[in-house]
Amino acid sequence: MRRTPFELAAVATAAVPGLTPMAAASAPDDAADFDSALLLDSEGKRWRVRSPRHPEASARLETEFMILRAFAPAIRAELPFLMPTVAGTVRQGALSTFVYTHLAGATRSIEELSSCSDALAKEIGAALAAVHDLPQSLVNNADLPSYTANEFRQRKLNELDQAATTGKIPPALLRRWEHALEDVALWRFNPCVVHGDLHEDNMLIDGDSVTAVTGWTDLRIGDPADDFAWLVASNEQRFVESVLRHYTEARRDTPDGHLLRRSALLAEFALAQYLVKALAAGHSDMTAEAEAMLKSLADDIEEQNALAAEEAEAAAADIAAAADIAAAELSAADGPAAPAVVMASEAKASEGDSAKPAVSVTAIPEPAGDSANGPASTPEAPSEADNTSTTALQIVESAPLQDAKDH
């Protein structure tokens, strides 16, 4: 049962002695896990309340509390954004509700962010770089999860096996993800500190500035692509490329060339994780929603594959036609009738008939993010109708997914 903002305000008074709420409003959050509210007290101060809906969510908040305490003032001072500060907590049964001091700024939808200015894209890139450049000792000293590149890949393979056992993942998606996870070259990256739950609701914006980053429940050492999946899922190439460019400039460690390709895979795979989570919770509506989104993704990929096949067939036909024309012209040029052919061609052109433009053949380019960060690899032709090429891996637009963000 959900708690209303006014119920959360009452809980907050027990967590923070002397707090007198005068107004309350709901706040964006992971709806499946938390009830949240913004409060205004009698002195004009603002507060945020997060109340878990189940024991696992409560454990995540307690982990975040430990993480926030690990950020010493000196570390916080070097960050280009603010972090939450816990003002008080109260335990009710197995669940702990936390009250945080207010942070300036407001959340923006992914649609609003994807059409933002380059100045804000630079701020987002700098914020991501600052998180990924945090000292790994911060995570290790707090006894938080740490994964090597190979351990992270194996973890995803295990999650894929778990998703496959549900019998509800379209076979084309299973093959696509399996082939991507088996491409060892794709998973050669330098592990770094990652936020682990980064998305638009955990980033506060004021004008063209990122004022704060929240939701520090999943801090770990792992794949930086984890923090880019929500960006790639926006399907706005200009926005993603702008953030990546500024991120690359700000980072002390040069990002690998496959960062965005892994991000695309992780954004797609989040739907499978959402399905597994819904089934485990016995939530029929969430399960149906996850199945519908997975089917939509599979249909979109199949449509993309068909379109790519048609374009490739048309390009091959154009090349063959151009070769035939060139051969005919070369043959005619060797005989006495060559001037007549030229004259006829010129006459035809002068009559206004349209002629095919010259056909140029270029290699399929790497995704834009890869070319900016490392050498491109030459893709191999797929051995079946499904597009399982990791070289051309890209996110396919699907229905908005609010609850899949927590993975």
pLDDT digits (tens, 9 = 90+) for 240-280: 999 999 999 999 988 788 999 999 999 999 999 999 988 98
> What is the predicted pLDDT for the residue at 86?
94
Strand partners, 36: 50
Q: What is the pTM of this model?
A: 0.73
Dihedral angle, C-alpha 260, 194, 400, 283, nearest 10 ° = 130
| Number of C-beta neighbours around residue 144 at 10 A | 18
Using 50, 70 and 90 to split pLDDT, how confident is the model at 11? very high
> Which has more confidence, 363 or 125?
125
One-letter amino acid identity for 39? L
Q: Which helix (H) or strand (E) holds 153?
A: helix 149-164
E strands of 200-308, at which residues?
203-206, 209-213, 220-222
DSSP 371: H
Q: How far is CA 100 from CA 21, 71, 122, 214, 403, in A?
A: 14, 15, 28, 10, 22
**Calpha distance 149→154 (Å, rounded):** 9
pLDDT exceeds cutoff 90 at 318: no
pLDDT band at 164 (very low <50, low <70, confident <90, very high): very high
Packing angle between helix 237-250 and helix 118-132, nearest 10 degrees?
50
Question: Tokens 């076979």 appear where?
Answer: 171
What would the mean pLDDT of 41-63 be, rounded to a whole number? 92
Q: Which of 358, 365, 371 is nearest to 392 (CA)?
A: 365
The per-residue pLDDT for 366 is 44
- Output the pLDDT for position 351: 45
Q: How confident is the model at residue 335 (pLDDT cuts 50, 70, 90)?
A: low
Do 32 and 403 meet the contact criterion of CB atoms below 8 Å apart? yes
What six digits make up the tokens of 296? 């939509």
d(CA 35, CA 19): 19
Q: Which residues, including other chains, have CB under 8 Å from residue 180's CB and lie 6 or more apart?
A: 186, 265, 388, 390, 393
Mean pLDDT value of segment 176-185: 93
**% of the chain residues with pLDDT over 70:** 81
The mean predicted confidence, pLDDT, of the chain is 82
Could you tell me which of 46, 164, 157 has the C-alpha nearest to residue 99?
46
Residue 134: closest CA among 84, 75, 180? 75
192 beta partners: 222
Q: What pLDDT does residue 358 have? A: 36
pLDDT digits (tens, 9 = 90+) for 213-244: 999 999 999 999 999 999 998 888 999 999 99
Q: Is 6 helix (H, G, I), strand (E, B) or coil?
A: helix
**Residue 195: pLDDT over 80:** yes
Specify the pLDDT at position 343.
37
- What average pLDDT does this structure show over 21-42? 88
Nearest to 240 by CA among 213, 220, 214, 267: 267
Q: How many CB atoms lie within 10 A of CB 200?
A: 21
Q: How far is CA 267 from CA 59, 102, 262, 320, 344, in A?
A: 25, 30, 9, 39, 57
Diameter of the chain by CA atoms?
104
How far apart, in whole angstroms, are the C-alpha atoms of residue 361 and residue 318? 10
Collapsed DSSP state (helix, strand, coil) of residue 169: coil
For 164-263, where are the E strands, in sequence order?
Answer: 192-194, 203-206, 209-213, 220-222
Distance CA 216, CA 405 (A): 13
Q: Looking at residue 227, what DSSP letter applies? A: G
Q: Which amino acid is at 105?
A: G
Looking at per-residue confidence, does 322 or 275 come out higher? 275
**What is the pLDDT at residue 256?**
85
Would you say the C-alpha torsion 347, 348, 353, 356 has a positive or negative sign? Answer: negative
φ/ψ region of 251 (left if φ > 0, alpha if ψ in -120 to 50, else beta) reads beta
